[in-house]
Amino acid sequence: MNSWPGPENSWEGVDAYFTSANSEGTLIFWTLLVIALLILVTMLAARHESDTANKTK
């Protein structure tokens, strides 16, 4: 199974047809970044809610 760019810069013999498909390390990096963004946004929202609660008495 090859990934882009395959041999001779064509799609012949290519199966996994997406960016960095031939680099598991890069795929893991993007995955971790997705996880980090989801957690970060949730934490920022939680902090905003707590700040609002402190200001609203």
Query: Which residues of the shown chain bind another protein in the complex (CB under 8 A)?
Result: 1, 3, 11, 14-18, 21, 24, 27-28, 31, 34-35, 38, 42-43, 45-46, 48-49, 52-53, 55-57
Q: How far is the CB of 22 from another protein (least distance, A)?
A: 9
- The DSSP annotation for 13-54 comes to TEEE-STTTT-HHHHHHHHHHHHHHHHHHHHHHHHHHHHHHH
Q: How far is the CB of 25 from another protein (least distance, A)?
A: 9
CA distance 3 to 16: 5
Q: How far is the CB of 48 from another protein (least distance, A)?
A: 7
